[in-house]
Structure 1
């Protein structure tokens, strides 16, 4: 009984030794053969800056980009969840018309390159819909407290339209995948649950709200959390439409300072700071749900 465990431990040690040798080789090649002068000491000033007038430390380019990425991810995730839930209910509903609309949405969004989707939906929203709402003008005319709240939750008053366009674009793209996740969860609920709820005299909306959706969401919760992690990483795509999130700030900083490797390594670590805790949370959810079942 102990032999398989010892064999597994030996293979793990061999793998760790191989990875250590590989890391050492890469470090040696980078430090000895790479013709590059490192300037890691200049990176912290682009994360935090010291305001001499107020004597406070304030976020600089990279940290501001990280905050924008976080806002994009949160609002995009909430909107994508709402879109995905509506489309999943349409796909599993009785109306053929709604099923066709939801299926067309999913197939269209899942079979187009993300960059093409970003350009199409962003320029449509930015040019045809959001400017007519005059959100930037109203934000500038608001009081100081409202402007501060908008800057904290969304973006600077002059950039709210662009920010909301990016949020809607991300939500439409990610909503297609959330639709399929929720649809699979709804269809995984045993038919007996539907019949039992129907026998109690519940209407379809009541069945979904009180019986079906709680079970479906519990089953697909790890997948939904994993999709949120994917959304955080996919938010870097909106840098091509000049949304000042982390990737955009990193590219602008690299172009102005020529600190190519230092900037991108720092950007990668900041993305890890966002996604790795989410990955740990997903793993914890999976273990907890496994114990319950």
Structure 2
């Protein structure tokens, strides 16, 4: 901390002063012009609440939504990475049909608003898949069981499992288009001579990709993949539109029931900032190593 303070320039102090002054001006204007009654003392109760029947603190609306957002982001990022690598490899395929199918998928998703994509995939794909697999009845059966602690830890309330899966699927399908283009760029950045050398010693196409191309490509695309994962965390707020109980959905519920408009949304923004900023620091350390 002392080293950080020593590196600060007078311009940094000036910018900090301007930021604090702007924040104070906004708070005063909201309280004065809009005649808004700030009630920050009520927010902690919607983060954690004391459950008297069990005599312990339990997560309330905002933390429940935060945990759901983290779950959705992790599962969607894993699925998006798998699909994105497949799409990126397909974009570099020698087969024209495979290459064009992958490009059609990528170009469609990258040039259509995400809200439209989420509604399209929700109503025409994930919802139909959930009904076809009878997933709702299966999830409710697990929710009635007594020993479902593992399922609850992994997926939360199993009664909302279909909604969680819908959010993960639609978010992963949308984000996989961007991951696919990143992976394609990484593959095409590998020197052609290395691929020709792999073929000259008798490697198959699969061995060439597995041992030569992908290890180098994935190392190069780590920074843009990290940025895409951070964007995925922020884009996860869109799944609240299909009634997935994430942080944004829970914040809307809180605002509707308490009218804590500014307090609730500022708290939600702080939660998103902490997650995304923490991830940016983590990925920066990975890049340096």
Instruction: Report the TM-score when normalising by structure 2.
Output: 0.91
CA contact (8 A) 1:185 1:219 kept: yes
1:108-139 deviations in whole A, cap 9, x for unaligned? 10111111111111012344221121122123
1:237-276 deviations in whole A, cap 9, x for unaligned? 0111111100000011101100000000110111112111
1:71-94 deviations in whole A, cap 9, x for unaligned? 110010011011101111100011
Q: How many angstroms apart in 2 are the aligned matches of 1:36 and 1:60?
A: 25
CA contact (8 A) 2:43 2:263 kept: yes
| Cα RMSD for the two superposed structures | 1.9
CA contact (8 A) 1:185 1:217 kept: yes
Residue of structure 1 equivalent to 2:42:
42
Residue of structure 2 equivalent to 1:108:
108
Written as runs of structure 1 = structure 2, the 5 A alignment for 1:249-288 is 249-288=250-289
Flag structure 1 segments of 5+ consecutive residues without an equivalent.
1-7, 289-293
Residue of structure 1 equivalent to 2:4:
none
Residue of structure 1 equivalent to 2:60:
60
Q: CA deviation at 1:197?
A: 1.6
SS at match of 2:277: helix
CA contact (8 A) 2:126 2:169 kept: no
Distance 1:183 1:140, change over 3 A: same
Written as runs of structure 1 = structure 2, the 5 A alignment for 1:150-229 is 150-229=151-230
Residue of structure 2 equivalent to 1:129:
129
Written as runs of structure 1 = structure 2, the 5 A alignment for 1:73-88 is 73-88=73-88
Q: CA deviation at 1:19?
A: 3.8
Q: How many angstroms apart in 2 are the aligned matches of 1:265 and 1:203?
A: 54
Q: How many angstroms apart in 2 are the aligned matches of 1:209 and 1:118?
A: 33
Residue of structure 2 equivalent to 1:144:
146
Distance 1:174 1:271, change over 3 A: same
Residue of structure 2 equivalent to 1:243:
244
CA contact (8 A) 2:114 2:174 kept: yes
1:7-53 deviations in whole A, cap 9, x for unaligned? x9465455445445434444443455451111111111111111111
SS at match of 1:205: helix
Q: CA deviation at 1:68?
A: 0.5
CA contact (8 A) 2:130 2:136 kept: no
Distance 1:21 1:161, change over 3 A: closer
CA contact (8 A) 2:50 2:58 kept: yes
CA contact (8 A) 1:126 1:161 kept: no
